[in-house]
Chain A
Amino acid sequence: QVTLKESGPTLVKPTQSLTLTCTFSGFSLTTSGMGVSWLRQPPGKALEWLAFVSWNDDKRYSPSLSSRLRITKDTSGNQVVLTLTDMDPGDTATYFCVGPLFGIRRPGYYAHWGQGILVTVSS
């Protein structure tokens, strides 16, 4: 059974960095072919894909946010960390992690989601 859960701060100040952790079970990023993505959804708005990391550390980023994003995986294979720098009120959103994703050539669709974490950017 696949489960994912996002954790991290729910309130950050403008210009600060946001670090979120996705902890998952039911699959491992030490397994060939596996990947995890992060997405976000501002209140009342559409979904936006942010970043992806694969088992072999291949990484992809949203072109509009690539200068501010970093995604890493831990060596145990069951956590992925997303960092978004220079936070702005426009980054207020629910952040989701999704996985497992299979392969690198194409992004894949998202069968398993974490519950999401609402992050508010405010001074």
Chain B
Amino acid sequence: EIVMTQSPATLSLSPGERATLSCRSSESFSHRVAWYQQKPGQAPRVLIYDASARAAGIPSRFSGSGSGTEFTLTITSVQSEDFTIYYCQQYENWPPSFGQGTKLEI
């Protein structure tokens, strides 16, 4: 089973700053990583799939990169609505697994 580890647990930034969220996997694989944003009381929303492809309707300030064991979600200029929790997920192998989340706070 692949373990996904996110860091940091909490990221404190100001609006307009650049956010870099990391996700490390316990096994190496090429690109089957997704990133989700979850706001309180809502289901998660996919932002990025296949490590770097932006999902439909996702603003261009969100980007993903990485391969092997290191994956990154970048928000180039954090907006007020971006302060929430983010999860990474691998779908390289069964069972799919998630990181424990990074909370982006002001």
Give the distance in Å from the alpha carbon of A96 to the alpha carbon of B32 in the complex. Answer: 21
Asked if residues A60 and B55 are in contact (CB atoms below 8 Å), the reply is no
Asked if residues B46 and A109 are in contact (CB atoms below 8 Å), the reply is yes
Q: Return the contact of B96 from the options A107, A111, A114 (Cβ within 8 A).
A: A107
Asked if residues B46 and A107 are in contact (CB atoms below 8 Å), the reply is no
Asked if residues A107 and B98 are in contact (CB atoms below 8 Å), the reply is no
Give the distance in Å from the alpha carbon of A81 to the alpha carbon of B96 in the complex. Answer: 20
Q: Give 1 or 0 for each of B36-53: 1 = CB within 8 Å of chain A CB.
A: 100000011110010000
Which bucket holds chain A's interface residue count?
10 to 19
Q: Give 1 or 0 for each of A108-123: 1 = CB within 8 Å of chain B CB.
A: 1111011110000000
At the interface, is chain B mostly helix, strand, loop or mixed?
loop
Q: Return the contact of B98 from the options A46, A63, A108, A113 (Cβ within 8 A).
A: A46
Shortest Cβ gap from B95 to chain A (Å): 6
Give the distance in Å from the alpha carbon of A89 to the alpha carbon of B59 in the complex. Answer: 39
Restricting to A28-59, which residues have a CB under 8 Å from any CB of B?
37, 46-49
14 A-B pairs besides A47-B44, A62-B95, A111-B46 with CB distance below 8 A are: A47-B98, A60-B94, A63-B95, A106-B92, A108-B91, A109-B32, A109-B34, A109-B49, A109-B89, A110-B46, A110-B89, A111-B55, A113-B43, A115-B43
B residues with a Cβ closer than 8 A to A are 1, 32, 34, 36, 43-46, 49, 55, 87, 89, 91-101
